[in-house]
Amino acid sequence: HIYTYTATFVAVFSMVGYAIHVQYRGEKHDLNFDTDDLTVGQVKDAIEQNLSVPKSAQQIICAGRKWVGIAFSDDTPVADAARGKCKEVMGVKSLTLMLTPMGGAIVDKTPELAKIEEEVSQIRKELDSLTTSSSPEMFSKGEKLVIDLMSKASIKLDDLQLVGAERDRKKAMLREIEQMEEELLKLKAAAKST
């Protein structure tokens, strides 16, 4: 048992990196980094990816100081930018930041994406209801409906300017629509051969 405790003890005390706590829209978001050489640019990239706030619209505040200007460029080490405000616990540096959007509020696209996700689900249901055993008129009618719904959803997605996790959701929905287009083409070929 002594050996097990020793291994655990060494593992706990050999941890390094940063635990960045970002306050945004009344919620705390934790970003963890496994490096001691963390830069302001890496933090901004992580915020863009995880919170969907574009780097160009981020205003970061640490202990009352805004991280703007030459002193806080993307290649500035976080240790320098934080100016001694990091708390270190077992090798992990902890820092709390406040994020506010520059130039006004960032428009949350989550409700819009959720609505389009519902539309994509409806397209899936319509596509799944198409059968090659339907009459040619019924199949054609269902095919036109699915094509129309896919076109509308694709256009809505193409019109959205997103970053980070929201952009990843958008890409996933576009891939799903492309997959459904391929399925529709296979169904149409099967319907013609019957």
Residue 72, SS3 per DSSP: helix
Q: What pTM did the predictor assign?
A: 0.62
- Rounded to an integer, what distance in angstroms lies between the CA atom of residue 116 and that of residue 98? 31
Q: What is the pLDDT of residue 141?
A: 92
Exposed/middle/buried for 82, CB within 10 Å: 0-12, 13-18, 19+?
buried
Q: CA separation (Å) from 107 to 48, 57, 103, 160, 168?
A: 14, 11, 12, 11, 17
Whether the CB-CB separation of 171 and 58 falls below 8 Å is answered with no
Q: What is the pLDDT of residue 36?
A: 86
Q: What is the pLDDT of residue 15?
A: 59
- Rounded to an integer, what distance in angstroms lies between the CA atom of residue 169 and that of residue 3? 46
Which of the residues in the chain have pLDDT under 50?
A: 1-14
Q: What is the pLDDT of residue 133?
A: 75
Per the listing, tokens 């199949």 go with: 139
Task: State the Cα torsion 171-176-180-183 to the nearest 10°.
Answer: 110
Q: What is the pLDDT of residue 104?
A: 58
